[in-house]
Amino acid sequence: MTQKTLGRAADLLTIPEVVERARQTLSGDQWDYSCGGAESETTLRRNRTAFAELAFRPRVLMGAGQPDTSATFLGRLLALPVLLAPVGSIATFHPDGALACARVAADAGTGAFVGTLSHPALEVVRSGSTAPLFFQLYVYGDRGWLRDLVSRVEAAGYQGICVTVDVSAYGRRERDLHNRYFPRQSVERPNLGASTDVPGMVHRDAYNAALTWDDLAWLRGVTRLPLIVKGIMSSDDAAIAADHGVDVVYVSNHGGRQLDHALASIDVLPEVVSAVDGRAEVVLDSGIMRGSDVVKALALGARAVAIGKLMAWGLSAGGEAGLLRTLQLLQTEMATTLTNLGVRSVSELHPDLLRRVSPSAASAWPADL
């Protein structure tokens, strides 16, 4: 990727500055790929509007002092409960791809997801970072192929397996279609191993489309690692996932890039937390752009959130230093929000600190990140 000369990452003082520098750095095709959504992009906009419609109800004279932004996820202490989401084409934003993200996660005291479609190989990423790493799994083959990949993940020392279940069909991302930009076809995919196509299968995506809860139960039985299910958008599915022994229910609408006119992830979060009822931890992505967004998600019951777009933009704005600076800014915004809410730690957050306001009283993406 050709990049213009970048200023020092330390000069970035706000999240909008990170985004603007990324926009100036990326080509038009890359920018559209990073920020676009499916079809009319209604889901994309709804993700931001839903966060904006959640207003804070602060308490005063609480002696909040210097707040603690740390939290635990799957038994591991994170200095910042902002995980780096799996992005298959992350190597288009940094030559070291998922390895760069994993290194930054270690520096920031958080964890990262490493995608099936990402580069370099999962073993290289694991050996190059001390951060908690979770392998994101697309099912692109039969159970024999899947067992082999799971064995690689276990042998490499990952801390969990995250099955993405909301890509039965690849979303129609019209910005990419208009630009004739297809990054899925241009990046090496070392985690896939041998070809997964078999006679009668038009494309490997057909395996994802054919997945059922029986397949999840089989996977639960063949790995000792914590199991995360990504793409849950209803209380019904959340309850079924918990019934299947899933360790983490991951609420996500794929950043608005899959199903147009879907609910916002933050709007689904409360019903998912209620349905899980403590039987699994809950993570959320889609629409996280501010430290205040992180606080809102945690107040509604998420254990942590994950960022995808902001991760790509941080890398584009200044490489690993740019992504680390992005996480630092999120942590600063989180701490400021917690203090002004009268809260000393994320463990003190609860839904009563939020109220829903009318859409007319809320601002949304892109005017307000």
Q: Running DSSP on this structure, what letter comes out for residue 135?
A: E
d(CA 95, CA 86): 16
Active site residue 254: yes
d(CA 349, CA 79): 16
* Radius of gyration, CA atoms only, the chain: 19
Q: How many Cα atoms are found within 13 Å in the side-chain-facing hemisphere of 84?
A: 36
Name 61's Cβ contacts closer than 8 Å, sequence gap at least 6: 342
| 239 and 66 Cβ atoms separated by less than 8 Å | no
Name 243's Cβ contacts closer than 8 Å, sequence gap at least 6: none
DSSP reduced 3-state for 180: coil
d(CA 176, CA 36): 8
Peptide bond into 81 cis (omega under 30): no
d(CA 76, CA 96): 26
Which of 94, 119, 244, 254 is an active site residue? Answer: 254
d(CA 105, CA 119): 16
Peptide bond into 366 cis (omega under 30): yes
DSSP letters of 195-261? ----TT-S-THHHHHT--HHHHHHHHHH--S-EEEEEE-SHHHHHHHHHTT-SEEEE--GGGTSSTT
DSSP letters of 77-106? EESSSEEEPP-TTGGGTSTTHHHHHHHHHH
Residues marked active site are found at: 254
